[in-house]
Amino acid sequence: MGLNTLRALFLRATGRLLSHEPVVLITILLIILGIWLFVGVTEEVIEADTQELDERVLLALRASGHLEDPIGPPWLERMAAEVTALGGIGPLSLFTMAVAGFLWLNRKRAMLLLVLISVGGGACVSFGLKQLIGRPRPSAVPHLTVVSSASFPSGHAFLSAVVYLTVGILLAATLGRRRLKLYILFVAILLTFLIGISRVYLGVHYPTDVLGGWTGGLVWALSCWVVARRLQKRGAVEAEEDPSPEGE
C-alpha cells in the first residue's frame, strides 16, 4: 500500500469523524479515553500493582481490631446492603422490563429492541471479562454479603452502569424536554455510583474492581448512545419528541 493510498485513507477517516455533530464527536473521544483507562486499570490489576493500595482501602473501611465491623453506624451497613441489591440481576431485570413496557406503550418499538440488545450485550461482556481475568475476591476483610463469581470487573458496578446508564441515556434520547433528560441521567449516574461504592464498603470488591466496572459500563453506555443517535438520523429508531415550550 503506497503513501498516497495511506494519506487518502487517513483524510477520508478524518473527514468522516469531523462530519459528526460536536456532541457525538466528544462522546467518541470519551469512549476512546474510557477504553484506554479500562485497559490501563486491567493491566495494573493483572500485574497486582494495585493490590496493596486496594487492601489498604478495604482495611480503612473497617473498625480497628474488628474487621467484621465496617466503620459508621449500624444503619449505614444495612443501607449499603439494600443499595447494593439494586445492582443485582433480579432488580436490574425488573427495571429493564419496566422500561421496556414504557417504550412499548409509548409506541417506540425500535428503541425498545435497541434497549434490550444493549442490556443483554453488556451483560455478556461483563460476564466474559470476569471469566477472562479471573481475579479472586478480596480476602483482607470478611465479606458482608454473599458472592460467588470472580472479582474484576465488579459485575454490580458494570451492570448497573450498563442498565441504568444505558437505559437512561437511550430513554433520554427519546425525550425532548431538557429537564427530563437531565433528571433521568442524574438518577442513573447516582444509582451507578452508590451501587459501586457499596460493593467496596461491604468488602466484596476492591476499589479497582469498581473502577473497572464503572469505566467499562460507561464505555458501553456511551457506545450504545452513539449507535442510537446514528440510527435516529437514519430513521431506523424513533427520534426524540418535540419539546414543549415549558420544558426548555
pLDDT band at 56 (very low <50, low <70, confident <90, very high): very high
Cα–Cα distance list, 46 to 2, 153, 211 (Å): 40, 11, 14
Does 152 score more than 50 pLDDT? yes
Question: Burial level of 19, CB count in 10 A (0-12/13-18/19+)?
Answer: exposed
Does 200 score more than 90 pLDDT? yes
Mean pLDDT of 22-44: 87
Highest mean pLDDT among 70-79, 101-110, 141-150, 162-171: 70-79
pLDDT (0 to 100) of residue 169 = 76
Mean pLDDT of 17-25: 61
Q: Which of 115-124, 125-134, 231-240 has the lowest mean pLDDT?
A: 231-240
pLDDT band at 7 (very low <50, low <70, confident <90, very high): low
156 is catalytic: yes
247, 176 Cβ separation under 8 angstroms: yes
Does 107 score more than 70 pLDDT? yes
66 is catalytic: no
Q: Which residue has the cell 452513539?
A: 226
96, 119 Cβ separation under 8 angstroms: yes
Does 172 score more than 80 pLDDT? no
Cα four-point dihedral sign 37, 38, 41, 47: negative
Q: Which of 20, 66, 143, 156 is catalytic?
A: 156
Does 245 score more than 80 pLDDT? no
pLDDT band at 239 (very low <50, low <70, confident <90, very high): low
Does 211 score more than 90 pLDDT? yes
Grid coordinates of 119: 442490556
132, 150 Cβ separation under 8 angstroms: no
Mean pLDDT of 209-223: 92
Grid coordinates of 18: 469531523
Does 105 score more than 60 pLDDT? yes
pLDDT (0 to 100) of residue 10 = 47
Mean pLDDT of 211-229: 89
Higher pLDDT, 218 or 14: 218
pLDDT (0 to 100) of residue 18 = 43
Instruction: Flag whether the pTM goes above 0.85.
Output: no
pLDDT band at 238 (very low <50, low <70, confident <90, very high): low
Domains, the chain, in order of start with CATH, read 21-241 (1.20.144)
pLDDT (0 to 100) of residue 5 = 61
Q: What is the mean pLDDT of the chain?
A: 82
In this structure, which amino acid lies at residue 88?
A: G
